[in-house]
Amino acid sequence: MTPASAAPRRVAIHVCGSVAAYKACAVITALRKQGCEVRVAMTRSARHFVTETTLQSLSGHPVARTIWQGGDAGHGMGHIDIGAWAQTHAVVAASANLMARLAHGFADDAVTAALLATRARLIVAPAMESAMWEHPATQANVATLRSRGVSFVGPVRGRLASGAEGDGRMAEVDDVVAAVLSSLGDAAPT
Ligand SMILES: Cc1cc2nc3c(=O)[nH]c(=O)nc-3n(C[C@H](O)[C@H](O)[C@H](O)COP(=O)(O)O)c2cc1C
């Protein structure tokens, strides 16, 4: 736990259009219990899977949904706020599409703009069907991101959203939380 006198660690959680997006809620709650301040950005597709209201309630902050929001740093440049603010970023759950956009340096929504406008650590927790995960395009994008220092947690083998067994299931929430805390220099939660 963070000592009461220490400044809270600043973590940004980025949510994508994956069935596992709802697991971001548990990650946010666990990180806040560990004394982290959490801000959230979501893609347009993520809104089909989890609501902004839920993410706002759990994080205690407005959710970044678009680069056209003003932001709250007072400079009118909302698209770079979260990128500059966070000590660690985590994409939970990362879609194949989002990883492709990150690999190519896109910055056309709240998530990709924040992740391009940062020098902070980035942890990616992918979740998708096996065919998407194993596709050479996805694997090439993963390799590109790894070569830039991005850390991956999972995916693991197990039951997928479709009901099939295979690779592509999101890592356990505890493992994602442990990776974030570790990146901040903390021990894993007990
Ligand atoms: C019902 C449904 C479930 C989906 N589940 C996933 C998923 O688990 N992982 C994934 O990578 N894409 C999934 N997709 C596709 C993405 O939502 C789609 O590629 C979208 O453009 C991703 O946008 P984003 O990366 O901006 O969030 C799903 C689509 C639908 C309609």
- Residue 58 sits in a domain of what CATH number? 3.40.50.1950
* Residue 119 forms part of a structural domain: yes
Protein residue with least CA distance to atom 4, ligand 1: 18
pLDDT, tens digit only, all 190 positions of the chain: 444 446 789 999 999 999 999 999 999 999 999 999 999 999 999 999 999 999 999 999 999 999 887 666 666 666 778 999 999 999 999 999 999 999 999 999 999 999 999 999 999 999 999 999 999 999 999 999 999 999 999 999 999 999 999 999 999 999 999 999 999 986 444 3
Looking up tokens 């693991």, which residue turns up? 156
* Residue 2 forms part of a structural domain: no
| Domains identified in the chain, total number | 1
Exposed / middle / buried, residue 97 (Cβ in 10 Å: 0-12, 13-18, 19+): middle
141 lines ligand 1 (CB under 6 A): no
* Residue 189 forms part of a structural domain: no
* Residue 46 forms part of a structural domain: yes
Nearest atom in ligand 1 to the alpha carbon of residue 44 is: 26
What range defines the domain where residue 18 resides? 9-183
pTM of the model: 0.94
